Every structure is written in structure tokens, then in C-alpha cells.
Amino acid sequence: MPGITREEVAHLARLARLELQDEELDHFATQLDDIIGAVARVSEVAEQDVPPTSHPLPLTNVMRLDEVRPSLTPQEALSGAPAQEQQRFKVPQILGED
């Protein structure tokens, strides 16, 4: 497989609106070629019977039961509020809506 050329790196840099110096083009061409080679090696190792995965271990979502627990009463929760109305915190209106 042919390597990444500095012209291809310059084209990618233009697309990304990056300004690269000549020595950077050579440096990034080498790095990108190494990255593409590493991905190609991984692709060679992958077997047909192994499904692609996003994580090496199965993930499960651990959720606790939704249980009623003792908490503050509305009066206790609002006791330190500078303003309240109908058992709610009253805040200044920020939108021009009613």
C-alpha cells in the first residue's frame, strides 16, 4: 500500500483550514502513514467470525430501585429561599413571556 504523500497531507490541511509549514507536512505524512499501517495490521488480525464491538467487555446499565426515602418537606426546602410562591422558588423572569 503506497504511503501518504505530503500533497495529500497538504490537501487535508486545506480542508481542515490548517496552515502547515513544509517540515510539518513531511512530519505528519510519516505519522499518518504509521497510523494507517497500524489500522491495516489490526484489520488483518480480525477474524470473520468475531463480531465488531465498541467495548471489550459487555456493558450493563446498573440502576437502583426507585424508592421513596425521607426528604425535606416543602417548607424546609423553601425556608432559606429569598422569595417563594405556591410552594415553589420564585425567581426573576428572564424571558419576555407571561
> pLDDT tens digit string along 27-79?
999 999 999 888 888 777 767 777 777 888 888 888 888 899 999 999 999 99
| pTM confidence score | 0.45
1-12 pLDDT per residue, tens: 568 889 999 999
Whole-number Å distance between alpha carbons of 26 and 37: 17
Q: Using CA atoms, how far apart are residues 13 and 7, in angstroms rounded to an integer?
A: 10
